[in-house]
Amino acid sequence: MSTRMRILIAVVGFVSLVAVALAAIGSAAGPTRRAAHAGTPGAVSLDPGPRLIARSTARDTRDHLVAVAASDPAGPRTVAQISCVRVSAAGGTGICLRLADGLRTFEAVVLGPDGTEHRALPLVGVPNRARVSPSGRLVTWTVFVTGDSYNGGRFATRVGILDTGTGDLVSTLEDWAVSVDGRPYQAEDLNFWGVTFAPDDRYFYATMSTAGRRYLVHGDLTTRSIRTVRENVECPSLSPDGTRLAFKSAVAGDPDRGWRLSVLDLAGGGVLPLAETRSVDDQAAWIDARTVAYGLRRGGGHADVWQVPADGSGAPSVLIPDADSPATLAGPVEPSADRPKT
């Protein structure tokens, strides 16, 4: 092949490859930018009421916080201006974890009852879980952090908790007093994720991993202490009456084989696998005293919020189509309340 020919082929090849790349970037940029400008300021109120919030995965409103009526969750949705990678809300307070400018860093944004941004905190790492305490006073998030000592720069998780009343910030649980099986425990490889608050704004449950084991832990914000409760419980979610925990249970104790959504009875210690048999990698949300909701991906960047009875009966069904990160705005439920299900 002559040199001239080679150069010709190279030029033609390079130009067409650049064209393909630019076309791909252009076709992604259009809808993404349109979606970014969707939503109306103040459209979504976080005041307690018979509504659910979620994060949209629909093409034209992707990532936006949306609200739907609890009586018609698949029906019309109001779209907020704010975009998040994870949202949650309770007691008139919302938390939105989102990409900050520059797309390199993230921030946790605390939202007030009218959906306005009250406070933004920079996050170190990629956010993953978010929760608000039933009273709306405490917010928490989990981020994946690159590079903790023991694993040579691989991912670790870190939990943050903010008291929106006092402004006190817990930036990590790793320096708290930890006890495993009742004995004081110290290790470099402590990882925490998936906090869920008790209604008293003092106690919480979370997941802790150390030395290859994953524990359900009980934490106390007043004494800054943490104790293990049992093993193989991840991403707990406390029921409105505080007696049960929905969680993801590693199939046969091996996370590689997927997760089974289950409910733990805190008093009796019994574990009930729920009717959802697909692998659910999410921190479930209680939408009433006997139903949990969770996001399930369905490819192409879309997800649906599903619901399943918390007593192991029934079958899963779609609650909010084309969304994830669900939460209910219904106020605290009385333990005895037996509300009709929609």
Partner 1 sequence: MYLSTIDRPAKDAARSRRPRRPPAGISANVLALGAVSLLTDVSSEMVTAVLPLYFVLALDMSPAAYGVMDGLYTGATALLRLVGGYLADRTRRRKRVAGVGYAISALAKPALLVAGGSMPALGAVIVADRAGKGLRSAPRDALITLSTPEPMLGRAFGVHRAMDSAGAFAGPLVALGLLAVVGAASPAAFDALFITSFCIACMGLLTLALFTRDRRAETSPAEPVTARAALGLLGSVRVRRLVYAAALLGLATIGDGFVYLVLMDRQGFSAGWFPLCAVGTNLVYLTLAAPFGALADRWGRKRMLLCGYTALCVGYLLLFGPLSATWTTVLVLGCLGMFYAAADGVLMALAGPVLPASLRTTGLALVQTAQALAYLVSSVAFGLAWVNYGPATATRVAAGAVLAAIAVTAVLLPEPAPEEALA
Binding residues (CB under 8 A) for partner 1: these are 1, 3, 6-7, 9-10, 13-14, 17-18, 20-21, 24-25, 27-29, 31-33, 35-36, 62-63, 83, 85, 99, 102-105, 122, 124-126, 128, 144-157, 187-189, 191, 193, 209, 214, 234-235, 255-256, 281-282, 295, 297, 299-301, 303, 324
Q: To which residue do tokens 């599903």 refer?
A: 306
Please state the closest distance from residue 295 (CB atom) to partner 1, in A: 7
Residue 185: exposure state from Cβ atoms within 10 A (0-12, 13-18, ≥19): middle
Residues 6+ apart with CB under 8 A from 105: 99, 122, 123
Cβ closer to partner 1: 105 or 277?
105
Please state the closest distance from residue 76 (CB atom) to partner 1, in A: 24
Please state the closest distance from residue 107 (CB atom) to partner 1, in A: 11
Cβ closer to partner 1: 69 or 99?
99
What does R_g of the chain's alpha carbons equal in angstroms? 22
The CA-based angle 122-162-196, given to 5 degrees, is 115
Cβ closer to partner 1: 13 or 184?
13
Please state the closest distance from residue 24 (CB atom) to partner 1, in A: 4
Please state the closest distance from residue 82 (CB atom) to partner 1, in A: 13
CA 161 to CA 279: how far, in whole Å? 28
Please state the closest distance from residue 329 (CB atom) to partner 1, in A: 23
Cβ closer to partner 1: 122 or 340?
122
Are 219 and 176 in contact by the 8 Å Cβ rule? The answer is yes
Cβ closer to partner 1: 266 or 318?
318
Are 94 and 65 in contact by the 8 Å Cβ rule? The answer is yes
Are 127 and 158 in contact by the 8 Å Cβ rule? The answer is no
Cβ closer to partner 1: 1 or 267?
1
CA 142 to CA 234: how far, in whole Å? 13
Strand order in the sheet with 106-111: 86-90, 93-99, 106-111, 117-123
